[in-house]
Structure 1
Amino acid sequence: MTVATLANPAGFRPAAARIAAAGLAGGALDLAYATVVGATAGRSFQQVWQGVASGWLGKAAYGQGWTSTLLGLLTHFGIAGAMAGAFFLAAGRAPVLRRRPLLSGAIYGVGLYGVMYGLVLPLRWPGVFPRWDGVRSAADILAHVGVGVAIAFVLRGRERSAG
């Protein structure tokens, strides 16, 4: 968000709505990818998202049914919203990011992969990450590129005027 957007409460709503929409777009794409990857590994939809909730609850997440599944989904979309917010802030400083959403989104997606697989996941599962797993890791990178592109496309174009 720009200082002008923060100083103008009427301008905050459109910016927040755009960030939320971008987070939903990127999060939905990643939700589909993670659910399919989980299914190919024999995990149900519920188990995949309980796995995300286990970051908060530990192994207890797997025994809490849909409550922990919902917590996992909320966490997932919260992270996606933060990713969208970070892109929004960066695009406020470098407007070329909004003008070139395919390129900037793809580069941002590679960065998101680096943060997720180089920092976030190793903090949660230090014995498992980081790792390179051939085609699966390449698919993980492509999925993150898709998330970055989805976020960039939702946030593309000129900043909308509040008035």
Structure 2
Amino acid sequence: MSTITTSGHAQTASGSLIRAILLAGFVAGTLDIISAITVSGVYSGSFRPIRLLQGVASGAVGKSAYEGGVGMALVGLIFHYCFAMMFATVYFLLFPYLPFLRRLPVLWGLLYGIVAWTIMNGVVVPLSKITPAPFNWEKALINIAILMVMIGLPIALMARKYYSRKLVHQE
């Protein structure tokens, strides 16, 4: 296992990678949930983050999530961050094997956001206990844009930064 030195501290490459993935997932997840709550508030006319997060939890536990109060909203938030971490993990693990990701990270990050939206809406939601709403192009395009900018872009930029630094500091 290679050792990377940053700021005079030695750390294993795998530990550094895990921290980078967790940070990217946390940043992307935070940006995404803030955007989702904001857009949801605009569409519904009221600010209801607890309800939105209960909706996330309902994917696993069904409609009873809406009766679970703040506790179920926290479950939804945990699920939300788990998905953000999963998307960060996949991108970070693919990055060293797909050289084209190093070039044009903004483009690939934005495209990765479309991939994330497609996976969530084409696989995750249909397999969940969420009752699907009728398709709405306006909402879909807004949600795609959010995932492009708030999930794909930060993950791609953070992966590029991590791997650029890793190559520079590798002993």
What is the TM-score normalised by the length of structure 1? 0.84
Structure ID, larger Rg: 2
2:123 pairs, out of 119, 122, 134, with 119
Structure 1 window deviating more from structure 2 (35-44 vs 14-23): it is 35-44
Aligned equivalents of 1:87, 1:135: Cα separation in 2 = 28
Aligned equivalents of 2:170, 2:77: Cα separation in 1 = 32
Change (3 A) 1:125 1:59: closer
Q: Which has the higher strand share?
A: 2
| 1:30 and 2:32 are equivalent in the alignment | yes
Task: Give the root-mean-square deviation of aligned CA atoms.
Answer: 2.2
1:14, 1:162 within 8 Å by CA — same for their partners in 2?
A: no
What is the TM-score normalised by the length of structure 2? 0.81
Counterpart in 2 of 1:137? Answer: 140
Give the ranges of 4+ consecutive aligned residues of structure 1 lying more than 4 Å apart after TM superposition. none
Counterpart in 1 of 2:48? Answer: 44
| 1:95 and 2:86 are equivalent in the alignment | no
Structure 1 window deviating more from structure 2 (47-56 vs 57-66): it is 57-66
Aligned equivalents of 2:120, 2:60: Cα separation in 1 = 17
Structure 2: state its 5+ residue gaps: 3-10
Aligned equivalents of 1:90, 1:106: Cα separation in 2 = 16
2:160 is paired with a residue of what secondary structure? Answer: coil
Counterpart in 2 of 1:109? Answer: 113
Structure 1 window deviating more from structure 2 (54-63 vs 20-29): it is 54-63
After TM superposition, give the deviation of residue 132 of structure 1 in Å. 3.7
1:110, 1:144 within 8 Å by CA — same for their partners in 2?
A: yes
1:112, 1:148 within 8 Å by CA — same for their partners in 2?
A: yes
Change (3 A) 1:51 1:148: same
Q: Which runs of structure 2 are paired with 1:63-78 in the superposition (5 Å)?
A: 63-78=67-82
| 1:83 and 2:87 are equivalent in the alignment | yes
After TM superposition, give the deviation of residue 126 of structure 1 in Å. 7.0
Aligned equivalents of 1:92, 1:159: Cα separation in 2 = 13
After TM superposition, give the deviation of residue 11 of structure 1 in Å. 1.2
Aligned equivalents of 1:93, 1:111: Cα separation in 2 = 18
Q: Deviations over 1:15-51 (max 9, x none)?
A: 0111011111211121012112322324611010011
Aligned equivalents of 1:107, 1:38: Cα separation in 2 = 23
| 1:19 and 2:21 are equivalent in the alignment | yes
| 1:128 and 2:132 are equivalent in the alignment | yes
Change (3 A) 1:71 1:126: closer
